[in-house]
Amino acid sequence: MSYPSKTAKNQLLKLISTLENEGTILTINEFIEVLENTKPICENPEIISALTNSLKLQSKNSLYSRSQITEREKQVVLLIGQGLSNKEIAHKLNLSRSTVETHRKNIRKKLKIKGKDGLIVFALIYKLQHLHNFDS
């Protein structure tokens, strides 16, 4: 088993610390670049490849896809991007848990997203774009 080089690991930790201290938010392309550069220090670089490929695909489709979902669905997507559970989203939006589950199902159907993980990736990208005021 090979272990990550201490230099690469230290550089990554330094970058994370700098970003936190400066309150900087990475663009999607910068985030993808950081992920790509972590491959040499990862035990399973194929996971990074799968994630970056998914991010690239979702990023291309997300600007177009956003216009297909309702305002309430956009709120749900943003909350998914914050890592909230269905129960937490329901409480925050004053909805039932089954309504949130229906929103999630409808979002995946409208955007042709397969599975819960695909929706989470889309939600993270959508949240990043929303923070950068790319949202219409």
**Residue 96 corresponds to which tokens in the numbers above?**
């039932």
Taking residue 71's Cβ as centre, other Cβ atoms within 10 Å add up to 7
Architecture (CATH level 2) of domain 6-131: Orthogonal Bundle (1.10)
Angle between helix axes 45-65 and 28-38 (nearest 10 degrees) is 170
Higher pLDDT: 123 or 28? It is 123
* Boundaries of every domain in the chain: 6-131
pLDDT digits (tens, 9 = 90+) for 69-127: 899 999 999 999 888 999 999 999 999 999 999 999 999 888 888 888 888 878 877 77
Question: What percent of the chain is predicted at pLDDT more than 70?
Answer: 71
Alpha-carbon gap, residue 111 to 59, rounded angstroms? 12
Give residue 131's pLDDT.
63
For 78, phi then psi, to 5°, come to -60, -40
Higher pLDDT: 111 or 67? It is 111
